[in-house]
Amino acid sequence: MGIRTVAVYSDADENALHTRVADTAVRLPGATPAETYLRGDLIVKAAVVAGADAVHPGYGFLSENAGFARAVLDAGLVWIGPPPEAIEAMASKTRAKELMGIAPLGEVTGADLPVLVKAAAGGGGRGMRIVRRLEELDGALEGARAEAASAFGDGEVFVEPYLGGDAHGRHVEVQVLADTHGTVWTLGTRDCSLQRRHQKVIEEAPAPGLDSRITSELYEMAERAARAVDYVGAGTVEFLVSDGTAHFLEMNTRLQVEHPVTEAVFGVDLVALQLRVAEGHALEKEPPRARGHAIEARLYAEDPARDWAPQTGTLHRLAVPDGVRLDTGYTDGDDIGIHYDPMLAKAVAHAPTRAEAARKLSGALERAAVHGPVTNRDLLVRSLRHEEFTAARMDTGFYDRHLAGLTAPAPDPYAPLAAALADAHGRSRFGGWRNLPSQPQVKRYASAGEEHEVRYRHTRDGLAADGVRVVHADGRLVVLEVDGVRRTFDVARYGDQVYVNATALTALPRFPDPAAQLAPGSLLAPMPGTVVRIAEGLTDGAFVEAGRPLIWLEAMKMQHQITAPATGTLTALHVKPGQQVEPGMLLAVVQENRS
């Protein structure tokens, strides 16, 4: 559009992609959100110093903060978003519900359960807790308040009935776009039911299987919400659809992460339209017609099999086949840190039908090169191919029911051999063969918690292995013929980490390190982060019960509990509040009481 851009960046994001590609960049000293991206005064100052004339708030941090919007306007800058009064009315979920005539719960009793504790200023699943037993309520309130204050600078929370997976609810939303001339577009529906920790994983447009009655009802309520606050710009009205009834959840007064699926279906650029609306241009009276179906999958640096623990480290390579849209903030070689959301990219497929879009996206993700920390890529592929998803019978309880099956290890049985043959390429001092029969070479690899030992030989015809024919082998490509069928393996190695197609392997030493043994009951940090809390009274010698939360870690804006693995005695506590920890670091030791 010919518009020059100014990026703001924290110290942790000094070399981030958005910092590198912007025309100008301004530093926000510090690394935590509270020091940087939640400091509206610093961001306004950066805009003024850089000579900017407008501020786009993105879709996180201060994007729904009315005070920030006012500060932008007071500085003489254009605010690319709704009026502060509209943000104020809708950004707090408690006030939004009052505006729509819905009251949150007052006193919670056993008859109300289950309930959901939610951050009033929240989003992205942060500051949310499901409470199924009354005795869990106080702890849920405390945890939600702390997480909300850290992520949004506002610790207000409220309680509402929980209508999640138990009620087979679907998370459906409507994209709205409004100008300053009285036009409000409702740009179709989106289904965002596949969620983990109340944060969306897979989204699609339009929401499948909705009848015309409920679709019309959703459009009507979305437009009514927008007009009620004289909305301007892009926004989203979210609903829970259960048993044929739509329950209003909230209005997000910002651009949504999942906006690309709407863009694909309607053939529009929502960010460009945001800018045009902010410049005072009028929308057409009617929105474009919808065409086809689009599905988006969020690629996260996290381990779904380990309670969705976020992962850090170097992203060596990220490449998705042509034909799908990839929105990402990372390039090859970038570091994934501990401070912010673990989302690496969004992959979006558009096709004439839903089935084609799902097939297109799952195939592209399966063939993608994702080399670095553990990701949810395999989970995404399996989710898109799951019978409940393909039949459009999914709801917000999808991962509660199916996570174990979706994360079961399924490494390619020939990946370790391909890794060994690629590593062996060119290593022989004798030109790759001997006159006498050679002894088998042995290599060991770990994958998905299992150890694999492979054997191969150097022969006068090249590398060989029992049960397969080695058609080709070099450092990057191995072709094997198995039962008459040729299979191709792309191999990449970074130190001890080896990637063979979609299988990640760790090359093991010939002999295990005896120093790596740990005492039974050792609690290790599952991720890098900061110790934000230690259980009250937790000292060496304390009695603990199995499952009791002992240590709270904060990583990537979310809190994670480290619980006692067994009932027994805490024999060692190695950390204290405020301490930074790395993955695998020993936090504490619990000696099980076997009496």
The number of C-alpha atoms within 13 Å of 286 and in the hemisphere containing its C-beta is 3
CATH number for 165-406 (one of 3.30.2010.10, 3.30.470.20, 3.40.50.300, 3.40.50.720): it is 3.30.470.20
Q: Which of 126, 129, 170, 254 is catalytic?
A: 254
Domain covering 415-508, topology: Glycoprotein, Type 4 Pilin (3.30.700)
pLDDT above 70: percentage of residues in the chain: 93
Domain range summary for the chain, segments of one domain joined by +: 6-82, 90-113+115-161, 165-406, 415-508, 515-592
Q: Where are the alpha helices (DSSP H) in 425-493?
A: none
CA distance 196 to 193: 9
Residues 417 and 316: their CA atoms lie apart, in Å, by 22
Mean pLDDT value of segment 187-211: 95
Closest CA to 11 of 34, 30, 26: 30
Confidence of residue 595 (pLDDT cuts 50, 70, 90): low
The model's pLDDT over 19-42, given as tens digits with 9 standing for 90+, comes to 999 999 999 999 999 999 999 999
Which H or E run includes 58?
none
Distance CA 265, CA 508 (A): 47
User: Are residues 24 and 5 in contact, defined by beta-carbon separation less than 8 angstroms?
Assistant: yes
- Segment 411-428 mean pLDDT: 88
3 CB neighbour count, 10 Å cutoff: 10
For the question of residue 254 being annotated catalytic, the response is yes
Backbone φ and ψ for 369, nearest 5 degrees, come out as -95, 110
- What gap in Å lies between CA 264 and CA 149, rounded to an integer? 35
Distance CA 422, CA 472 (A): 10
* CA atoms of 482 and 488, how far apart (whole Å): 11
The pLDDT of residue 426 is above 60 = no
- Judging by beta carbons within 10 Å of its beta carbon (0-12, 13-18, 19+), is residue 503 exposed, middle or buried? buried
pTM for the full model?
0.83
| Residue 295: band (very low, low, confident or very high) from pLDDT cuts 50, 70, 90 | very high
- The answer for 356, left when phi > 0, alpha when psi is -120 to 50, beta otherwise, is alpha
Half-sphere exposure of 402 (CA within 13 A, CB side): 21
Cα(390)–Cα(383) distance, integer angstroms: 9
Kindly tell me the burial class for residue 426, based on how many C-beta atoms sit within 10 Å of its own C-beta (0-12, 13-18, 19 or more): exposed
- In the chain, % helix, strand, coil (3-state, to 5) comes to 25, 35, 40
Say yes or no to pLDDT of 530 above 50. yes
Cis status of the peptide bond prior to 514, with omega within 30 of 0: no
Report the CATH number of the 6-82 domain. 3.40.50.20
β-bridge mates for residue 522, sequence order? 589
Confidence of residue 167 (pLDDT cuts 50, 70, 90): low
Q: Which of 105-109, 142-146, 235-239, 440-444 has the lowest mean pLDDT?
A: 105-109
Maximum alpha-carbon separation in the chain: 87
- Residue 430 pLDDT class (50, 70, 90 cuts): very low
Is it the case that residue 123 has pLDDT exceeding 70? no
Which fold is adopted by the domain 515-592?
Answer: OB fold (Dihydrolipoamide Acetyltransferase, E2P) (2.40.50)
pLDDT at 103: 64
Hey, what are 84's tokens? 């502060």
In this model, does residue 428 exceed pLDDT 90? no
**How high is the pLDDT of residue 338?**
85
Is CATH 3.20.20.80 the classification given to domain 90-113+115-161? no
Cα 69 to chain center, whole Å? 27
